[in-house]
A and B are shown apart, each in its own frame.
Chain A
Amino acid sequence: MDSMPCAFHIRTKSEVRKGTLLTALLACRIYYGPAMFRLSVQIAKRYYGNFSALKRPPFNEIFPPKRMINKILFDLDSRYASGKLYVVYESVYNNLDKENYTREFPNSFNASDVMIMKKVLEKVRHRTKSINKHLLELENSLLDSAAEMGNKDAVALLAFDVLKDPSQNTSEDVEYSKLLIKDLYKRKHHLTLKLTGDLAFKNNNLKEAENYYKQFLDVEDDTFLAGEVYGQLGLIGLRASNLADAERFFLKSIQLSPLKYSVHSYFYLSQMYMSSDPLKARTLMENCATQGFKESFRSLGYLEMNYFKDYYKSQEWFKLGMELFDIECFIGYFDCCCTLKEWAMANKCYKSLQRMAEINPKYRPLLEEFDVARSDKIMTSSQYSFQPVFNKELIGEAKATEQSIFRSSKWGL
């Protein structure tokens, strides 16, 4: 990666030097979306009092296993192995909280090596599906360093972070980010083209987004990132009702990207095949389910129940969906239980549905509809329960009439 003169680092450098909580939170907001941001804010509030004095855990405790790092480095085609990078990681990590500290990398390191170090941590996040706030800070710090060293990808990422939410940044920053993006766009920088497309897509300028994505594909069309871009193009095709194109793009996307990065493409493709090729749709949807894609459990459950008529399998899918409190999964599970004549289970499921409707008012109309459509089944299921019957009258009556039972209630061996 060739370096470029960049004044951007002045801002980022100062931020890092401050090491403020806000920077971490902002990064969290940008990278992980509002849900994660809220969670981070809650955590921050709890620890804010002694945050500055927070003692970081030793690096060797939080750093992922060497084997995983080596695998990722191999995927990223890194020049260095984990042994060499570990020392650098540790040194940056140990100096994260130090004020007036200038990060120093070995002389042989260039900007792209630093960016690779950042990408490694990013991939660890995706693979483990968990976020360690210390590693996240380290990742952000590395991103800043890469930008300072003139890595175009890092500069583009930081500039687009500013533009994504301009109200949170100063007008000076916004203007400067625009200037940088313009410059990178002129140079046909691949990530800039993709991120510009993403920004246009986010603002619902589908035509413009499509244009940028296609420019990106002119630059590179057989990489990981191209897979993501194909996925986005597929979405544009779906929105424009151009399903043939959408299908083509989604297929390309799942061909280029690994499953975990193209779950959406799998899902949409599966939806498209649902009525013409249910077998293929099921396979694709199962792939989504392996990644914990919430909507897939519901679809798989209904597909198994209504088309493949495999009620036991559909029950299992619905159960998974129910764990995520998907109300449609409760409905499907109830139907399955009724078909299989597992009335006690159906009754239990119905009661859970009622509890959900009590807690969340938006489910009430649905429950009313449900009650009307399945009144017979609800009636039947209500007669069954897992609870043992404890009816005193009934027991007393039985005592009076069937005394022999009590007389001979010993083993009498």
Chain B
Amino acid sequence: MLFAAVRRQRVLQYHPVLRLHFSSGFIDVDKFQESLRLNKTLSKLKDAHSNGAIQIVKDIYPENSNEVNSDRSLPMCKFLKDEIFAKTENELIQQWRKPLVKWFRLGVYCMKYYRDGIKNTYLTYKETRELLNKYERQSKTPLITRMYQNIEYNEIKNRNIKGQNKIEPLPISRKDYVESFRRRQIWKLPVLIITLVLFEELTAVLFYFFPKIAPHNCLTPGGFFKVTQSLRKLSPIGDTLKYQSPYGLSKKPLFFILRNSTTIQLPKWKLKLYEKLDNRKIPCETLARIHQYIFVDDWLLLQYFLHKPVAKISYKELVNCIWERQLYYLEEDLNYMVNNDEGRRVLLWRLFIYWSFRFDGTITVGSGQLFSEKWGINNVSILNFSGMKDNMLVTRNDLNNLDGVDVCK
């Protein structure tokens, strides 16, 4: 039978498969070479990175030209306060007026940012409506699950039909996929508009203190940093060697994960209600959806990185990928990191190692197993696992051994 995933789970239980974690750091060159040799996916990604096939770009122009990055639905990476102040400083304005002009221009800049944010949130909502009608409402299955199924079907077909090298792509692009998910930010618009009407330029200050009330693409880097810090970093759910289904989690870790999720965020009142009513179905299903969302996103990005001659990922998307997968330490400012060369390389390598751990040996990267066959059905024990021993992350110190040539542009 094609689908023996449940049975495979059983097999996994009895014959624990040795899964290779990467060594705790890459300071040791030999260890790194060993990891490259053992993990073909990491090797492929490293090659693509070294050859300049994977590029990190500041902006994608024109924005609609790219089918992977959706910058319009993401917050800015750099707040241009210093640039605006410096520009005003150099202009021929009376000295006494300069502070006023500086702050006024900053206020105008913020207003324009919020205006664009609102416009883009609405556009994202509007443009993905048709897509959801087509895939979600007709089949009464969430789009995430629908895409997960599509990937599985295509991979099985690829495995069974000999001579078919490339896996069929999904019917929608990554941009559409992530936007159909990010469209939920529309529900924050009424609050934003009321705040803008009431507080005008002061909205920026308000949002600085309460960043979560703003739509995601209206966040400033400072606000985003606060959001990243406010979430308690999740430690791996369990032993990554053991299968863990969402229904196998006890109540406490389950609700902890959902409260601190960066992808599907259930309102706090709902979570409390479920907790009080001891409802497990909805929280467990939400956790399964989170797992599937990350899987589909990973799959789309990996296909793009491994098969495109030149794959470009924007700063904003890179930050978002790291944030959604929680591949950062709490004290790290992701926007600061993405704006300097070393930081970008660190972030990219974190993604590479994360993907290599999850996908090595699967059909996605050219081997023979399905993802669910390798890990089991909706195995949440690997949900936020960095791929390195003790869930450590790549740091600056490891960079020297990771890649000799800097290809980031």
- Asked if A302 and B6 sit within 8 Å, CB to CB, the answer is yes
- Asked if A275 and B3 sit within 8 Å, CB to CB, the answer is yes
Tell me whether B292 is interfacial, beta carbon within 8 Å: yes
If A241-B160, A373-B14 touch, whether A278 touches B377 (CB-CB below 8 Å) is: yes
Contact partner of A276 (CB less than 8 A), chosen from B9, B148, B376, is B148
CA of A279 to CA of B285, assembled, Å: 9
Please indicate which of the listed interface residues A272, A278, A307, A309 has the most CB atoms of chain B within 10 Å of its own CB. Answer: A307
CA of A280 to CA of B153, assembled, Å: 17
Tell me whether A243 is interfacial, beta carbon within 8 Å: yes
If A275-B377, A276-B145, A309-B248 touch, whether A238 touches B2 (CB-CB below 8 Å) is: yes
Residues of B within 8 A of A242 (CB): 157
Tell me whether A274 is interfacial, beta carbon within 8 Å: yes
- Asked if A243 and B9 sit within 8 Å, CB to CB, the answer is no
- Nearest-CB distance from B153 to chain A (Å)? 4
- Nearest-CB distance from B124 to chain A (Å)? 26
Contact partner of A274 (CB less than 8 A), chosen from B243, B285, B292, B377, is B377
Residues of B within 8 A of A278 (CB): 288, 377-378
Residues of B within 8 A of A247 (CB): 149, 153
- Nearest-CB distance from A294 to chain B (Å)? 14
Chain B at the A interface: SS class: helix
Residues of A within 8 A of B7 (CB): 302
- Give how many A residues have a beta carbon under 8 Å from the other chain's beta carbons: 26
Contact partner of A307 (CB less than 8 A), chosen from B2, B9, B145, is B9
Tell me whether A273 is interfacial, beta carbon within 8 Å: yes
CA of A282 to CA of B263, assembled, Å: 26
Residues of B within 8 A of A241 (CB): 2, 156-157, 160-161
CA of A374 to CA of B153, assembled, Å: 34
- Asked if B141 and A306 sit within 8 Å, CB to CB, the answer is no
Tell me whether A308 is interfacial, beta carbon within 8 Å: yes
Q: Which residue of B lies closest to A248 (CB)?
A: B139
If A277-B141, A306-B245 touch, whether A271 touches B156 (CB-CB below 8 Å) is: no
- Asked if B10 and A302 sit within 8 Å, CB to CB, the answer is yes
- Asked if B157 and A307 sit within 8 Å, CB to CB, the answer is no
Please indicate which of the listed interface residues B3, B14, B376 has the most CB atoms of chain A within 10 Å of its own CB. Answer: B3
Please indicate which of the listed interface residues B6, B9, B160 has the most CB atoms of chain A within 10 Å of its own CB. Answer: B6
Residues of A within 8 A of B247 (CB): 307-310
Residues of B within 8 A of A275 (CB): 3, 5, 152, 370, 372, 377-378
CA of A60 to CA of B152, assembled, Å: 56
Residues of A within 8 A of B376 (CB): 306
Tell me whether B150 is interfacial, beta carbon within 8 Å: yes
- Asked if A308 and B245 sit within 8 Å, CB to CB, the answer is yes
- Asked if B156 and A276 sit within 8 Å, CB to CB, the answer is no
- Nearest-CB distance from B157 to chain A (Å)? 5
- Nearest-CB distance from B148 to chain A (Å)? 5
- Nearest-CB distance from B373 to chain A (Å)? 8
* Binary per-residue interface labels of chain B (363-376) against chain A in the complex, 1 for a CB within 8 Å, 0 otherwise: 00000001010001
If A242-B157, A277-B149, A309-B245 touch, whether A299 touches B6 (CB-CB below 8 Å) is: yes
Residues of A within 8 A of B161 (CB): 241
Q: Can you offer 16 A-B residue contacts whose CB atoms are under 8 A?
A: A238-B2, A241-B161, A242-B157, A243-B152, A273-B149, A274-B377, A276-B152, A277-B141, A277-B145, A277-B149, A279-B285, A302-B6, A306-B13, A307-B6, A307-B245, A309-B245
CB-based closest 6 A-B pairs: A243-B153, A275-B372, A241-B160, A275-B5, A276-B149, A271-B3
